[in-house]
Amino acid sequence: MIVFPLRIAAAPDTPPCAPPTPDGTGVTWTVTRHADVRVALVDPAFAVPRVAPGPPGTLAWLRASVARFSGPERHPSRRAATRTLLAGLDPDLLAREAARLTAAALDRRAGSPDPPARLARDVPLRVLAARLGLADPAAAVPAVAAVAAAYQPGADPAAVRRADDAVADLVANCPAGPDESTAHRIGLLVQACDATAGLIDAAIRRARSLPATVSTPELLGEVLRLDPPVRATRRIATVAAVLAGRPIPAGAVLLLRFDAANRDPAVFPDPDRFTPGRPALTFGAGAHGCPGDRHALALAAGVVGVLRDRSPYAVAPPPPEPTRPTDPTGARR
């Protein structure tokens, strides 16, 4: 194993690894250790939060129709439908098309290229939307971003109204088919929006401190561990349960911290050191583990590979670390 000098400190608000810990009310428990997070992801006693249904073509309808928020009675069939859609997407083709669009964007703006943050969001969404059969992939990008901003329950009402309009636009943009098939297409795009863009952005920032001999797949894999675009997700205890010897009451909310578990010293010696090949929990595990991990990495690799080769941002001094939200996006499907 090659040892690199780069060390990536955890974000200041990343909690240390410790047994599951309740907040002052005992309602929310923070789970940080690798083994405990993994158990909570695979144990059926801990379920994804439920969502209320809504009228067709709205944000509430979308949430209630996708595997991401489905309970055990609907999740298997919806996950299977999502996997069927993904089976028609060759990751190698996704990577090549993402690389082509990234290079084309740099060529169009020679001397003043689009910032990586814009390419990180726009390119993967355009590639994925085209491969999923949307009529106007470019128009899908801002609509997906609007939905992603309100995707999690409890979003600001104004953001929800914008998302409702965006969902209607995306439904019209999708190929004709059953409502659930349309929802699965939009769900895949929403899941890919912020998470893939965050991975690309973090990878480009970290690449500046690494030798070119580090391959893009190695870079992405270790960035997933050390600088995860999805820092946490939630589960609800459907029954009274025990986790790591701690009694968890029914109805308790588990906040599963990927950012802490990915640095658990019991699993990763010298956890802050950049060491390719160490697996991360960022894509989840169990029934709701992300079925599109290979596709997400392929899209990211297509963009990052070109930016590392051609963009002035790849050699510029790194900008200040962005402030990452601590509220989880819950991006497991």
Domain boundaries in the chain? Answer: 21-314
Instruction: Supply 142's token pair.
Output: 């801002």
Burial of 16 (0-12, 13-18, 19+ CB in 10 A): exposed
What's the half-sphere exposure (Cβ side, CA atoms, 13 Å) at 195?
Answer: 29
Q: What does the block give as tokens for 158? A: 């104004």
229, 212 contact by CB (below 8 A) = no
Q: What is the pLDDT of residue 213?
A: 87
Return the pLDDT at 310.
Answer: 83
Q: How confident is the prediction along the chain (333 residues), in pLDDT tens digits per residue?
A: 565 678 899 999 999 999 999 999 989 999 999 999 999 999 999 999 889 999 999 999 999 999 999 988 999 999 999 999 999 999 999 999 999 999 998 888 765 655 667 889 999 999 999 999 999 999 999 999 999 999 988 889 999 999 999 999 999 999 999 999 999 999 999 999 999 999 999 999 888 888 888 999 999 999 999 999 999 999 999 999 999 999 999 999 999 999 999 999 999 999 999 999 999 999 999 888 999 999 999 999 999 999 998 865 554 444 444 434 444 444 444
CATH number attached to the domain at 21-314 = 1.10.630.10
Yes or no: say if 318 and 208 are a contact pair by the CB < 8 Å rule: yes
Rounded to 10 degrees, what is the CA torsion of 121, 276, 8, 92? Answer: 0
User: What is the Cα gyration radius of the chain?
Assistant: 20
